[in-house]
């Protein structure tokens, strides 16, 4: 007599750990029946809910499943799915959206500068292009008049960036130096992604190299700005590697709740900062330096304690992505790295320490910061409540369970006699999605009388304890067993499923797992 294995997938993840795999790059695992046929594949006329938030890493996979004319890799053709996303990933996706966006923010930093006739340029490499455009501009993708963007290609010759921690930092710095010399733009904003990107990989030596590369290239930019007589503001969007260890000594590769530094370089000698503030204070400070009145909708306050004697004609802003502030040396990789430039700035320039996590950036109290919220608040100059907070509040109030998009997805599954697929990150901490959102959808599916429910889990150790993915998958498997509804039928690392750089080979691998059942087979019964 065959026995169902209710925890088959979580055990398969543990087995993958023993083979040397990890959550982030976990190769696809696929549940199969006794005849080795994949269980719970996404098929024609099925209903799919992609419950991730943020969106910039969810667009590519959604396109492959929802667009009729998709052609980036071979597919099964139009599947006629009833496809629902938690939030809007892109205006162009032919999908249903459960929590549509609020209107784009008005009177952001970029808009005010544009309206004031100040030409501006945003510079980064492709890894962070979405953040210095869409998020920094208040969730507006189109540039404002007088705004240009320079996106340095992100290297594709490495699997993970601990192989090349410097990434394209030199090219980003060179582009910034050219803009300083050419005097085409009065406002230059540059993002150095290295500390955040490499900090998500458990490789201490690589992280140290990333920190030191950013410090070195920041120094080159500051030297060029000094020669041109241009003040520079140096800050970050959130913390990462300044708190590298959990209390038990294991490595924490996620974001942190740390504040971030805010430093004025090459400014007037008399200028002083308030000692503390929030990321919402960055835009008002920039406007203050330019002598531009702050719009009424900005809630932040300038960090300048005294007025400049004259308005700045040009300004450079450097965002050191993931560079948190932690005065303690223990477990602090920024403190361990050689950072002569930052050390000099902190010891000789006006400095403020800015809150960059939790409620200060529109997230639930006690939660860590992230690049989305960080850039959004740097540009907005006011608190903007996150999608995650709105969804959590909808669950608490019960409104989540009457959401029209979710109700329609589940009713369509019943009407068509097809399966409901719940797809997304399985994590308690990710800025891309939460376990409680998935569990709420599972409870709703049970209440709505869904007949077949399959869960496709994505894992990624960012801010998670080692091997936490298997534990999370087991929580979902146990929930399915308790409900007597649903199975976890696919598990894959987010490296493959949540790309944003058009690495279509990765998305193709995820697609084939979801639709064809390609992956390491996992028996669902013995």
Per-residue pLDDT of the chain (526 residues; tens, 9 = 90+): 456 677 899 999 999 999 999 999 999 999 999 999 999 999 999 999 999 988 889 999 999 999 999 999 999 999 999 999 999 999 899 999 999 987 779 999 999 999 999 999 999 999 899 899 999 999 898 999 999 999 999 888 888 888 999 999 999 999 999 999 999 999 999 999 999 999 999 999 999 999 999 999 999 999 999 999 999 999 999 999 999 998 888 898 889 999 999 999 987 778 899 999 999 999 999 999 999 999 999 999 999 998 888 999 999 999 999 999 999 999 999 999 999 999 999 999 999 999 999 999 998 888 899 999 999 999 999 999 888 888 999 999 999 999 999 999 999 999 999 999 999 999 876 777 788 999 999 999 999 999 999 999 999 866 667 788 899 999 999 999 999 999 999 999 999 999 988 999 999 999 999 999 999 999 986 5
Report whether 378 contacts 136 (CB < 8 A): yes
Q: State residue 350's pLDDT score.
A: 95
Q: State residue 365's pLDDT score.
A: 87
The last residue of a domain, from among 329, 349, 383: 383
Bridge-based pairing state of the strands 276-278 and 453-459: unpaired
Q: Which domain holds residue 324?
A: 109-383
**284 with 369, same domain?**
yes
Listed residue (128, 56, 127, 105) closest to 85, CA to CA: 56
Report whether 244 contacts 322 (CB < 8 A): no
The last residue of a domain, from among 383, 413, 436: 383
Whether residue 411 lies inside any domain: the answer is yes
**511 with 410, same domain?**
yes
**127 with 259, same domain?**
yes
Whether residue 2 lies inside any domain: the answer is no
Q: State residue 526's pLDDT score.
A: 57
Q: In a 3-state reduction of DSSP, which class is residue 113? A: helix
Gap between the Cα atoms of 381 and 109, Å rounded: 7
**118 with 66, same domain?**
no
DSSP label at residue 134: I
Whether residue 121 lies inside any domain: the answer is yes
Give the CA distances from residue 88 to residues 294, 362, 386, 405, 435, in Å, rounded to whole numbers and listed in that order: 30, 18, 13, 12, 19
Task: Please give the order of strands across the beta sheet that includes 120-125.
Answer: 147-152, 120-125, 187-192, 315-320, 232-235, 260-265, 351-355, 276-278
Q: What is the count of structural domains for the chain?
A: 2
**pTM of the predicted model as reported, rounded to 2 decimal places:** 0.77
**204 with 160, same domain?**
yes
Instruction: Write the CATH number for 239.
Output: 3.40.720.10
Task: Please give the order of strands across the beta sheet that includes 47-50.
Answer: 96-99, 82-87, 47-50, 420-425, 453-459, 487-493, 29-32, 520-523
**376 with 404, same domain?**
no
**364 with 429, same domain?**
no
**301 with 448, same domain?**
no
Orientation angle between helical segments 387-397 and 435-447, nearest 10 degrees: 40
Q: In a 3-state reduction of DSSP, which class is residue 483? A: helix
**199 with 340, same domain?**
yes
Whether residue 471 lies inside any domain: the answer is yes
Whether residue 3 lies inside any domain: the answer is no
Phi, psi angles (nearest 5°) of residue 297: -75, -15
The residues near 114 (Cβ < 8 Å, ≥ 6 apart) are 120, 144, 145, 146, 147
Q: In a 3-state reduction of DSSP, which class is residue 97? A: strand
Cα dihedral value 485, 489, 494, 497, nearest 10 = -110
Q: Which long-range contacts (CB under 8 A, 24 or more apart) does 333-339 make?
A: 333/199, 333/204, 333/207, 333/208, 333/211, 333/241, 333/242, 333/244, 334/195, 334/211, 334/241, 334/242, 335/242, 336/208, 337/207, 337/208, 337/211, 337/212, 337/215, 338/212, 338/215, 339/211, 339/212, 339/215
Phi, psi angles (nearest 5°) of residue 459: -120, 155
Whether residue 96 lies inside any domain: the answer is yes
**399 with 498, same domain?**
yes
Report whether 338 contacts 215 (CB < 8 A): yes
Helix (H) or strand (E) holding 396: helix 387-397
The last residue of a domain, from among 333, 365, 383: 383
Q: In a 3-state reduction of DSSP, which class is residue 334? A: helix
Gap between the Cα atoms of 401 and 443, Å rounded: 9
**169 with 42, same domain?**
no
Listed residue (416, 453, 425, 412) closest to 39, CA to CA: 453
- Outline where 32-140 has alpha helix (H): 59-66, 109-115, 129-130
Q: State residue 1's pLDDT score.
A: 44
Enter the tokens of residue 191.
Answer: 């993002």
Phi, psi angles (nearest 5°) of residue 76: -80, 5
Listed residue (156, 296, 300) closest to 235, CA to CA: 300
Phi, psi angles (nearest 5°) of residue 396: -60, -40
**229 with 354, same domain?**
yes
Q: State residue 243's pLDDT score.
A: 96
Question: How many other CB atoms are there within 10 angstroms of residue 501's CB atom?
Answer: 16
Report whether 220 contacts 347 (CB < 8 A): no
């Amino acid at each position: 007599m065959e026995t169902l294995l209710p925890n088959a997938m979580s055990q398969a993840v543990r087995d993958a750990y023993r083979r040397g795999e990890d959550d982030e790059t976990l190769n696809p695992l696929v549940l199969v029946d006794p005849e080795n046929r994949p269980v719970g594949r996404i098929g024609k006329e099925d209903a799919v809910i992609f419950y991730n938030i943020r969106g910039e890493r969810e667009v590519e996979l959604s396109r492959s499943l929802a667009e009729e004319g998709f052609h980036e890799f071979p597919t099964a053709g139009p599947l006629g799915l009833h496809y629902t996303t938690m939030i809007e990933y892109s205006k162009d996706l032919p999908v249903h959206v459960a929590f549509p966006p609020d209107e784009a923010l008005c009177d952001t930093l970029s808009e005010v500068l544009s309206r004031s006739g100040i030409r501006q340029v945003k510079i980064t490499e492709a890894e962070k292009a979405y953040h210095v455009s869409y998020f920094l501009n208040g969730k507006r993708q189109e540039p404002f008049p007088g705004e240009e963007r320079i996106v340095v290609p992100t290297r594709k010759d490495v699997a993970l960036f601990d192989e090349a921690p410097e990434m394209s930092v030199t090219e980003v710095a060179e582009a910034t130096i050219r803009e300083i010399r050419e005097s085409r733009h009065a406002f230059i904003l540059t993002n150095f992604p290295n500390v955040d990107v490499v900090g998500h990989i458990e490789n201490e030596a690589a992280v140290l190299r990333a920190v030191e590369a950013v410090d070195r290239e920041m120094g080159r930019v500051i030297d060029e700005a000094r020669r041109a007589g241009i003040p520079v503001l140096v800050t970050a969007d959130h913390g990462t590697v300044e708190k590298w260890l959990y209390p038990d000594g294991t490595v924490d590769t996620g974001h942190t709740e740390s504040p971030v530094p805010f430093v004025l370089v090459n400014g007037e000698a008399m200028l002083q900062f308030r000692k503390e503030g929030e990321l919402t204070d960055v835009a008002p400070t920039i406007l203050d330096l330019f002598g531009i009145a702050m719009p009424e909708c900005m809630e932040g306050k300038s960090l300048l304690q005294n007025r400049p004697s004259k308005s700045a004609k040009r300004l450079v802003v450097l965002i050191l992505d993931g560079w948190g502030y932690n005065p303690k040396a223990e477990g602090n990789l920024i403190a361990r790295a050689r950072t002569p430039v930052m050390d000099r700035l902190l010891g000789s320039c006006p400095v403020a320490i800015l809150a960059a996590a939790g409620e200060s950036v529109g997230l639930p109290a006690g939660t860590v910061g992230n690049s989305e919220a960080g850039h959004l608040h740097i540009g907005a100059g006011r608190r903007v409540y996150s999608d995650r907070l709105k969804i959590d509040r909808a669950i608490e109030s019960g409104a989540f369970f009457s959401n029209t998009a979710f109700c329609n997805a589940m009713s369509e599954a019943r009407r068509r006699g097809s399966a409901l697929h719940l797809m997304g990150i399985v994590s308690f901490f990710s800025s891309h999605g939460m376990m409680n959102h998935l569990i709420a959808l599972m409870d709703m599916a049970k209440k709505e009388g869904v007949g077949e429910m399959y869960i496709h889990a994505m894992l990624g150790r960012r801010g998670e304890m080692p091997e936490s993915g298997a534990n999370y998958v087991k929580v979902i498997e146990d929930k399915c067993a308790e409900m007597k509804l649903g199975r976890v039928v696919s598990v894959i690392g987010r490296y493959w499923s949540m790309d944003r750089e058009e690495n279509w080979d990765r998305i193709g691998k995820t697609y084939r797992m979801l639709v064809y059942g390609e992956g390491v087979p996992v028996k669902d019964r013995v």
